[in-house]
């Protein structure tokens, strides 16, 4: 190791914070800065206006062609079939939400036929699935089929009183929507529903897998407190739609970002009945609700929604009107700035 004292040049180099003499560090790279003038800005406003307005009109017209029927069945529309003119919401409340059963029937009239693909949704209002602790209250390893101990994020729905892990654990699973909705046409003909192909294929293929020997596993492990069935009972006799791979369960586990949301419940089966092969015909229907899911305690609302779709998805006029408004604002800006530009140009023209 050298003990020679540092020279003056070495000390100067160590103390200096001067950047290296390169084009990048010395800011000598070629650059271009646009100079915004009336001749460059006005055509931009004009082009945006001419493009956005027709695009918005197309989107609004497309959205209006989507047919949708919404029915709120939270309370007064859902009167118990057992008599007494009592709502199902009141029956659940009087039983202190301890598992009382209630059924109601609600007439529905479609003034137009819903042709093409028809989708059935349940909607919830004032339901905050986006709460931080609620969103975290799950164990993704468990949902992938792991039989290891679940994590603490599932609290307070992590373990049953006997110390066993809930299957599935967490607040999201415990609060799964469990109303049963069926529809009949002209009072007698059941509308055929499809309960598969309603979840994201990536969710079912990647995020949700059943544990080994699933039927015995779910029977020997406790279900969440609000469930009166096991995960293996979900999906009926369809072996590919049971346990963690049940599509109703998968749809519910994908939490909503807003407090008002809808989730896909069923699709119309157009293959097994000639009456529905083109969609839902115009006429009278009856919705039968097995009312199990309480929402009035937190001022929530429940909806049953029938909808068709278009090439841009469901009914959503907001995007089209947003395009139209932006286009109109740009056209107004173009006209105002064009007039100001011409006026200023004439006033400031040098005398001849």
pLDDT in tens, 9-65: 555 555 677 888 898 888 888 888 888 888 888 999 999 999 999 999 999 999 999
Between 255 and 237, residue with greater pLDDT: 255
Mean pLDDT of 239-260: 95
The two structure tokens encoding residue 86: 């009592």
**What's the average model confidence in pLDDT over 223-244?**
92
Give the helix, strand, coil percentages of the chain, each rounded to 5: 35, 20, 45
Say which residues have a Cβ less than 8 Å from residue 256's Cβ, sequence separation at least 6.
127, 129, 130, 263
pLDDT of residue 21: 87
Tokens 């039989």 belong to which residue? 147
pLDDT at 85: 87
Share of the chain above pLDDT 70, in %: 93
| DSSP summary character for residue 285 | E
The pLDDT of residue 19 is 86
| Number of other residues whose CB lies within 10 A of the CB of residue 116 | 15
The 8 Å CB, 24+ separation contacts for 134-140 are 134/171, 134/172, 134/255, 135/172, 135/255, 137/170, 137/171, 137/172, 138/168, 138/169, 138/170, 138/171, 138/172, 138/173, 138/253, 139/168, 139/169, 139/170, 140/207
Taking the whole predicted model, whether its pTM rises above 0.75 is answered as yes
Convert 164-186 to b/e letters by CB count within 10 Å (16 or more is b).
ebbbbbbbbbbbbbebebebbbe
Closest alpha carbon to 302 in 313, 292, 315: 292
Spatial CA neighbour of 266 closest among 340, 194, 173, 199: 194
Binned at pLDDT 50, 70 and 90, residue 4 comes out as: low
Provide the phi-psi class of 235: left if phi over 0, else alpha when psi is between -120 and 50, else beta. Answer: left
Residues 6+ apart with CB under 8 A from 214: 232, 242, 243
pLDDT digits (tens, 9 = 90+) for 132-185: 999 999 999 999 999 999 999 999 999 999 999 999 999 999 999 999 999 999
Vertex 8: Cα angle to 7 and 12 (nearest 5): 120
292-349 pLDDT, tens digit each: 999 999 999 999 999 999 988 888 899 999 999 999 999 999 999 999 888 876 666 6
| Better pLDDT: 263 or 344 | 263
Q: What is the pLDDT of residue 125?
A: 97
Angle between helices 38-64 and 317-347 (to 10 degrees): 160
Instruction: Give dist(CA 229, CA 116) in Å, integer.
Output: 35
Residue range 62-102, pLDDT digits in tens: 999 999 999 999 998 999 998 778 999 999 999 888 878 89
Q: pLDDT for 115-136, tens place per residue?
A: 999 999 999 999 999 999 999 9
**Given a cut of 90, is residue 3 above it in pLDDT?**
no
CA nearest neighbour of 331 among 88, 45, 60, 33: 45
Question: What is the predicted pLDDT for the residue at 12?
Answer: 56
Q: What is the pLDDT of residue 84?
A: 78
Q: How far apart are the C-alpha atoms of 75 and 295, rounded to whole Å? A: 10
Q: What is the model's pLDDT at position 1?
A: 46
The whole-angstrom separation of Cα 140 and Cα 128 is 21
The 10 Å Cβ neighbour count of residue 41 is 14
């Amino acid at each position: 190791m050298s003990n020679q004292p540092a020279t003056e040049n070495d000390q100067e180099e160590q103390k200096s914070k001067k950047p290296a003499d390169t084009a990048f560090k010395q800011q000598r790279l070629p650059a271009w800065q646009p100079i915004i003038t009336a001749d460059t800005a006005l055509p931009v406003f004009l082009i945006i206006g001419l493009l956005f307005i027709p695009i918005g009109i197309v989107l609004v017209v497309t959205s209006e062609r989507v047919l949708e029927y919404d029915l709120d069945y939270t309370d007064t529309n859902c009167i118990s079939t057992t008599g007494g003119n009592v709502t199902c919401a009141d029956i659940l409340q009087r039983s202190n939400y301890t598992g009382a059963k209630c059924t109601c029937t609600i007439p529905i009239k479609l003034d137009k036929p819903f042709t093409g693909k028809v989708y059935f949704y349940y909607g919830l209002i004032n339901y905050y699935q986006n709460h931080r602790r609620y969103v975290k209250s799950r164990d993704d390893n468990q949902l992938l089929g792991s039989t290891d101990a679940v994590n603490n994020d599932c609290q307070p729905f992590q373990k049953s009183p006997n110390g066993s892990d809930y299957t599935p654990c967490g607040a999201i699973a415990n609060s799964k929507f469990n109303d049963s909705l069926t529809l009949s046409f002209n009072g007698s003909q059941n509308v055929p529903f499809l309960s598969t192909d309603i979840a994201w294929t990536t969710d079912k293929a990647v995020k949700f897998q059943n544990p080994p020997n699933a039927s015995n596993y779910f029977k020997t492990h406790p279900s969440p407190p609000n469930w009166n069935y096991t995960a293996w009972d979900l999906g009926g006799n369809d072996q590919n739609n049971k346990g963690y791979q049940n599509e109703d369960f998968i749809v519910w586990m994908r939490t909503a970002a807003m407090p008002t949301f809808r989730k896909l419940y069923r699709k119309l089966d157009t293959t097994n009945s000639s009456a529905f092969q083109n969609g839902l015909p115009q006429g009278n229907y009856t919705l039968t609700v097995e009312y199990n899911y309480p929402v009035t305690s937190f001022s929530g609302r429940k909806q049953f929604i029938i909808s068709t779709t278009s090439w841009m998805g469901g009914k959503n006029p907001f995007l089209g009107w947003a395009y139209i408004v932006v286009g109109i604002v740009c056209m107004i800006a173009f006209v105002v700035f064009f007039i100001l530009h011409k006026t200023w140009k004439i006033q400031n023209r040098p005398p001849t």
